[in-house]
Amino acid sequence: MRHIISLLMENEAGALSRVAGLFSARGYNIESLTVAPTEDATLSRMTIVTHGSDAVIEQITKQLNKLIDVAAVMDLSEGEHLERELMLVKVRAEGEAREELKRMADIFRGRILDVSDHTYTIELTGTRAKLDSFLQSINHDLILETVRTGASGIGRGERILKL
Amino acid sequence: MELTGAEIAIRCLQEEEVEYLFGYPGGAVLHIYDALFQQDKVKHILVRHEQAAIHAADGYARSSDKVGVALVTSGPGITNAVTGIATAYMDSIPMVVISGQVPSHFIGEDAFQEVDAVGITRPCVKHNFLVKDVKDIAATMKKAFYLAKSGRPGPVLVDIPKDISNQKTEFVYPDSVSIRSYNPVAKLDVTQIKQAMQLLLSAKRPMVYAGGGVILSDAAAQLTEFVKMTGFPCTNTLMGLGGYPATDAQFVGMLGMHGTYEANMSMQNCDVLIAIGARFDDRVIGNVEHFAQVPRKIIHIDIDPSSIAKRVKVDVPIVGDLKPVLTELIAMLHNTKARVDAASLAIWWKQIEAWRVKGGGLRYKNSTEIIKPQYVIETMYKITHGEAFVTSDVGQHQMWAAQYYKFDQPRRWINSGGLGTMGFGLPAAMGVQLKNPDATVACVTGEGSIQMNIQELSTCKQFHLPIKVLSLNNRYLGMVRQWQQFFHGDRYSESYMDALPDFVKLAEAYGHVGMRIEKPSDVEPALIEAFARKKDLVFMDFQTDPKENVFPMVPGGKGLSEIVLSEDL
């Protein structure tokens, strides 16, 4: 099953590689991993999307907790949560497609960040499913490049991950 | 007064009351060695290979309740140390390793003797640090010792660039340490302990399975009291030997791949199992699906939550330090009126005794023609009155030592259980002997393993370490040969040890006493003579039966009740 795990860790050199190393050493898979400092610059917040049986996910959270630099771990998928991913897509925008791409971007509430004579660069945020669905909705041949951040997650309401 | 980083590092060791520092100098640690030279509180033991420095620090730690400490240089110094660090990591041994690093401004430039020490050791340390500021050395060292010995112990590496060890700052050793992301002490979970007690009292076929955690937590006395008051059978893992007295009637022997028939059958067929500081690893329970076929309730006490429910489902998990948890459990048992069903327990013991008879215990067919390795261990046990510290290398000799030396006390059996590191025995024995100068220290090894760190005979000479080396020389990498015989159609691929040195001359060349023992009748006199030489290292080269196999055996991937008994019986 897909799980989205959030963690707080010391914002120190090497902390990221301890997490990444743990996943590769123990054979856990990572679908995506995002990390950046929090409002407290000494802490980083990481969101990891992974797949595994309940037993594997239990081990993953325990092993993450065991890392000395990791201060708190929460499996967001155990409760109500929000997740968002940012995607930038550069598309070939010429002739009829130019108008059509603009329309699709509007429908998906995307924004065109950069315009050249022959291309658009569109910014989209949403769940993974929404971003996937945008890519499926436009002509595949027009996609020049895509870059995605992977999911960031947060609990709903009073579900808070803080020290 | 301002001190250099090197002086600070050594002052930290003094503050931690480090008695011995095992190490090997090199370019990146020259300042530290200079600081070491100018004091006499911390004694340095110069090994002949960095791997041995780590194993010696490891043996020192295992035979005491202290943190082992080692010092190595950058590049090959730290890469040589990695095997030792991984060995300590797998067996959760408290250790601090200081490594030199190339000067800060050279890092990343592929400088001479540069290696990413923090990166290379990351998967096999509890934690590691690269010190980037001389002001951080004292606090980092304090953290390193705290991390190494608290919670589930383990090795911690502190990597110090050469320029940092030469810069100056004020030395202040912190009184205490707190790491906000690390809280190793779990609160005593009284509710869970109570549940465990009720489950134990409801058992008809109970079993106590205790591992290395008992040794690490210094909880042997509590384990013994618990087993005695309940009347339950008790087994120890390879790492847990000595945690419960092996000569006691309630001890059913070691379990696992080369455990006794009764230990493995009891483990498989019990209805309530209490696992104490053990981790259900593959060498202990064999095939995990086969183990799960028999329904049983499992209580698991461990300081590391990730050890619980890793390989088997657990009904009552208890996270905590074994000593306080067992103390609480014992107190609860004293205070309850409920009692174990004595009739069921008597039937269970009858069954275990029947397995004891069927399994034949640990018997082997002795010979008057050729030396049986088991006989050497048995005789050594007799001569040392079961009181020696015994280190071992890895292979058949390790299993025979574990089976035939009855350890009644903790911290006497010292071996590389998790990583299975050949070359561990002799350097580990050095650390044990230094920590216990008046004790009898024996290193049980083979002609394969001993050659992996034989250079340490030189260290033993320099520091007058009167270790007794028992080499069970069967001219084979015995355990490899055994598996090739059983599972690879007698194709003995590269397991024959040809062109062996004359070990007697070799021992003599290093300045020690060498003995070659060829006849069974010479075994006992040789051992008596060797162990009587209190001041000498004696290297005993026993020419043992090359065909002898270790039994019982649970073949790899098989279940515990599929155990194979010796063909001799």
Q: What is this structure's pTM?
A: 0.96
3-class state of residue B9 by DSSP: helix
State the number of CA atoms in the 13 A half-sphere of A84 facing the CB.
9
From the number of C-beta atoms within 10 Å of its C-beta (0-12, 13-18, 19+), residue A13 rates as exposed
Q: Are B224 and B128 contained in the same domain?
A: no
For B407-425, the pLDDT digits (tens) are: 999 999 999 999 999 999 9
B208: left (phi over 0), alpha (psi -120 to 50) or beta: beta
Q: Which helix (H) or strand (E) holds A86?
A: strand A81-92
As a whole number of angstroms, the distance between CA B431 and CA B203 comes to 43
Neighbour tally for B481: CB within 10 Å: 24
* Catalytic, out of B422, B479, B497, B540: B479
What sign does the CA torsion over B556, B558, B563, B567 have? negative
Query: Where is the domain boundary, B170, B201, B228?
Result: B170
C-beta separation of B63 from B432 below 8 A: yes
Is residue B417 exposed (0-12), middle (13-18) or buried (19+ Cβ within 10 Å)? buried
Which CATH number covers residue B219?
3.40.50.1220
DSSP B553: B
Would the pLDDT of B568 be above 70?
no
For A69, the closest of B130, B181, B304 (CB atoms) is B181
Residue B442 lies in a domain: yes
Please report residues of B whose CB lies closer than 8 A to that of A13.
130
Contact residues for B336 (Cβ-Cβ < 8 A; gap 6+): B197, B201
Is B398 assigned a catalytic role? Answer: no
Is B262 in the active site?
A: no
How far is the alpha carbon of B12 from chain A, nearest alpha carbon, in Å?
A: 22
B154 and B112 together in one domain:
yes
Decide if the complex's ipTM is over 0.85: yes
The full length of chain B comes to 569
Q: Which residues of A touch B179 (CB under 8 A)?
A: 68
Per-residue pLDDT tens digits for A120-159: 999 999 999 999 999 999 999 999 999 999 999 999 999 9
CA B304 to chain centre: 18
Query: Are residue B334 and residue B426 in the same domain, yes or no?
Result: no
Q: Is residue B111 part of a domain?
A: yes
User: Do B345 and B211 reside in the same domain of the chain?
Assistant: yes
With a pLDDT cut of 70, the percent of chain B lying above it is 100
**For residues B168 and B32, what is the distance between their CA atoms, to the nearest angstrom?**
13
Within 8 A by CB and 6+ apart from B199, the residues are B272, B297, B299, B315, B316
Residues B319 and B431 in one domain: no
Whether B194 maps to a domain, the answer reads: yes
Minimum Cα–Cα distance from B310: chain A residue: A59
B225 as an active site residue: the answer is no
Per-residue pLDDT tens over the stretch A74-133: 999 999 999 999 999 999 999 999 999 999 999 999 999 999 999 999 999 999 999 999
The dihedral sign for the CA sequence B358, B359, B363, B369: positive
Cα–Cα distance measured from residue B69 to residue B213, given in angstroms and rounded to the nearest whole number? 21
Q: Which helix (H) or strand (E) holds A10?
A: strand A2-10
pLDDT digits (tens, 9 = 90+) for B176-196: 999 999 998 778 999 999 999
> For B87-116, what is the mean pLDDT?
98
Q: What is the rounded distance in angstroms from the CA atom of residue B278 to the CA atom of residue B207? A: 13
Token pair 């574990």 in the structure block, residue: B402
Is the per-residue pLDDT at B360 higher than 80?
no
Domain's final residue, options B307, B332, B359 = B359
Distances (CA, A) of B301 to A12, B82, B208, B314, B501: 33, 30, 11, 10, 48
Task: Specify which residues A35 forms β-bridges with.
Answer: A46
Mean pLDDT of chain B: 96
- On whether residue B177 sits in a domain, the answer given is no
Clarify whether residues B326 and B225 are in a common domain. Answer: yes
In a domain, residue B235? The reply is: yes
Q: For B368-406, how does the pLDDT look when each residue is reduced to its tens digit (9 = 90+)?
A: 999 999 999 999 999 999 999 999 999 999 999 999 999
Looking at the fold, whether B353 and B424 belong to one and the same domain comes out as no
φ, ψ for residue A155 (rounded to 5)? -75, 155
State how beta strands B2-4 and B168-170 pair: antiparallel
What does the alpha-carbon distance between residue B163 and residue B161 come to, in Å, rounded to a whole number?
Answer: 6
Which residues form the domain of B339?
A: 190-359
Per-residue pLDDT reduced to its tens digit, B11-52: 999 999 999 999 999 999 999 999 999 999 999 999 999 999
Q: Are residues B297 and B162 in the same domain?
A: no
Say if the Cβ atoms of B118 and A14 lie within 8 Å. yes
Cβ-contact A34, A152 below 8 angstroms: yes
Measured CA to CA, the distance from residue B410 to residue B236 in angstroms comes to 11
Closest Cα in chain A, distance from residue B319 (Å): 12
- Answer whether A14 sits within 8 Å of B130, measured CB to CB: yes
Mean pLDDT of all residues belonging to chain A: 96
Contacts of B130 in chain A (CB under 8 A): 13-14
Whether the CB-CB separation of B495 and B476 falls below 8 Å is answered with: yes
The two structure tokens encoding residue B482: 């055994």
* Residue B367 within a domain: no
- Cβ of A9 within 8 Å of Cβ of B181? The answer is yes
> Does B128 share its domain with B248?
no
Whether B164 contacts B136, CB under 8 Å: no
Interface of A with B in 79-138 (CB under 8 A): none
| Domain-located, residue B380 | yes
Q: Does A13 touch chain B (CB under 8 A)?
A: yes
Q: How many CB atoms lie within 10 A of CB A117?
A: 7
Name the strand (E) or helix (H) holding B60: helix B50-62
- How far is CA A18 from its chain centroid? 19
What's the CA gap between B251 and B389, in Å, rounded? 20
pLDDT at B569 over 70: no
What CATH number does the domain containing B130 carry? Answer: 3.40.50.970
Identify whether residues B316 and B233 lie together within a single domain. Answer: yes
For residue B23, give Cα distances in angstroms to B42, B85, B281, B331.
12, 13, 33, 45
Q: Do residues A109 and A131 make contact, with C-beta atoms less than 8 angstroms apart?
A: no
Closest of B418, B404, B411 to residue B472, by C-alpha: B404
Quote the pLDDT of residue A68. Answer: 97
Count of structural domains, chain B: 3
Phi, psi of A34 (to 5 degrees): -125, 150
> Of B336, B359, B382, which residue constitutes the final position of a domain?
B359
Residues B282 and B314 in one domain: yes
* Residue keyed to tokens 């590191």: B421
Closest-CA residue of chain B to A71: B181
Please write the tens of the pLDDT for every residue from A33-52: 999 999 999 999 999 999 99
Percent of chain A past pLDDT 70, that is, above it, reads 100
pLDDT digits (tens, 9 = 90+) for B58-83: 999 999 999 999 999 999 999 999 99
Query: Quick one: B335 and B430 in the same domain?
Result: no
Give the Cβ contact number of residue A63 at 10 Å: 20
Predicted confidence (pLDDT) at residue B567 exceeds the cutoff of 80: no
- The answer to the question of residue B565 being in a domain is no
Rounded-to-integer distance, Cα B236 and Cα B252, Å: 8
> What does the DSSP 8-state code read for residue B239?
G
pLDDT mean over B249-270? 96
**CB-based contact (8 Å) between A14 and chain B?**
yes
CA B124-B160-B136 angle, to 5 degrees, is: 105
Whether B46 and B459 have beta carbons less than 8 Å apart is answered as yes
Q: How confident is residue B359, by pLDDT bands cut at 50, 70 and 90? A: confident
Find which of A7, A53, A60, A68 to mutate to test the B interface (most B CBs within 10 Å of its CB): A68
